[in-house]
Chains A and B, each alone.
Chain A
Amino acid sequence: MYTKSAAVYVAGVGVVSAIGNNAKSCLQSLENGEAGIGPITLLNTIHKNNLPVAEVKLGNDELAAQTGLSPNASRTALLSMLAANEAWQDAGISNAGHLRTGFISANSVGGMDKTENFFAAFLKDNKSGRLKDVVNHECGAVTELVADGLGIKNYVSTISTACSSSANSIFFGARMIKHGMLDVVVAGGADALTKFTLNGFNTLQILDKEWCMPFDENRRGLNLGEGAGYIVLVSEKVAAGISNKLYCKLSGYANANDAHHQTASSPEGAGSYAAMKGALALSGLQTKDISYINLHGTGTFNNDISEGTAIRRLFNPPYPKMSSTKAFTGHTLGASGGIEAVFSALAIKQGIIYPNLRLQTPMQALPFVPERIFQKNVAVDHVLSNSFGFGGNCSSLIFSKL
């Protein structure tokens, strides 16, 4: 039975990104202003010296050792397992065996890293290449592998909607809990850097050859990143048993389609506007209640003006504080909603605001400026987190203090 007013709580977080292999080290980098962007080291590509990326600072062997998966597993699965496991351990739900638990994960490339290596050999000689390597190519297979690793059996699902994927996973998980179908959900997403995406984004000419500058008047594009981010959502009943470990509530969410272009956002930010407005409506909050917006803020010309315009249209002065953490982590595609959900939950629990690095010239068209310094001891009551994907798929999540 669906209970619209049923609250959904965040009981655990787990993250791996270019700025840290777990939540604690990511927070340290966020506080120190240390971005994880640098030259490509893990991929053998012609772009090696031209394009900065935000790589996770662990090789596949190290990831395998830490997660217990095979080093031959896809890097997406390895990253996913590391972060999902951290979130699960963090939530520390002791009687999990009696609870209906789900794993809802998103990614955009699946096991593409293995397929790339297979293809190179296969295209040269179609008898070579290990076919076994591509068995876990499809997005769903990566999810199943990690669910098995976590021991989650009741419900496993994969969402694939580009850069809004893991935000969509999160609120799908919340709905399953509100609908009384699950008690606990580990939700989020993962994506690994691959030549597939690097070449693709490069050919769309939206990559920055230098370190990206989100929401800067002179921004040049995005830097690709990789990583994984998961939160553990629990029902009110489960939350009652672990109240001292909770981070915040998931109080609002919405998804809308921009209906403008396959990859570019509409100038007025119709989809972003609708997603933010919908999330606010569900949460029952007003725009003035939002303490901080974690922007999608990729650093592309198009996204930042579109998102900024939508915020200008929806909010009134005084505007909430805001920043794009992609200046730290790069754009982690299918993982971005999950990673930024973790950062949002931490912002509320710890009372911190993240800076928007490398912002030199604020965008002239916008009446607000993202935060430039890390702030502590701030009352962060409600955080709005935006994730907008190709195909016009726009999602917004709202996290609220307990």
Chain B
Amino acid sequence: MKKLLALSIVAAFLLITSCGEEVALTAPENFTISAGTDEVSVVLAWSENPSDEEVDGYYIYFNDAIADSTENTTYTHDDPQETGIYYVTAYRGEDESAASDELSTEPVIATGVQLYEIGVPNEESGYGWNTSTGQGAIYSMATAANASSIDLYFTNFATGYAGTYNIASPDEVLNDAGASWLQGTTGWKETGFAELTADFDDVTVLPTTGYFNFEEIAVNTTYGVYTEDGHYAMVEVQSISTSSGLVQVRTAFQTVEGLAILEH
């Protein structure tokens, strides 16, 4: 009887260990997104899950739907023409891990931005974006103190603030007859502008070439922007007042460096 009991315990132990659960799947880590070399594709990358998880592959999610799967740890979303939220999961058979961090390609929109022609006294005409958050801010151009933060300004390239206005690269202040107090200063960024044919809300992908140091502006026209930091953005001119020098705009900024998709 004693021997039978011992045998039963050993048998039970073997049964339990042989039926042990598989290692649980963990969410993929170190998830990143970046622009492809064509500037219209999105490249996703993450770290491989631990080998003891024996994953079969990874699901690619785009806007909460499975866009594709892969056995690799990188994936290129070719020319999606739209922006959205990406994340990946690991899978093994029917099992699926929790999601990785979520990352977005949606542009950051700012409305009701009020800027002034650079010749208007005591008003601010510089505007620049935080490349991490995508938030824009208005800056004074009274001195060169804000030069490293400014991505664009408005000017008539003459003294006073009459005439036609231009959206211009900050480093053009050195050639601007209406910004005489900034002559000889340094640190200004170089930005490019391209007039678009599409309306602000209809833009999907910005052109990747054809950006100039300034563009003459018109109301209800949208301009593509390429910053010195390598980010794409766009500016819609909503109103211009040459009597007050006020230019009202709304903007969109792509936080993914080098990605020209601005669909929103």
Binding between chains A and B: no
Partner-B contacts on A (CB < 8 A): none
Partner-A contacts on B (CB < 8 A): none
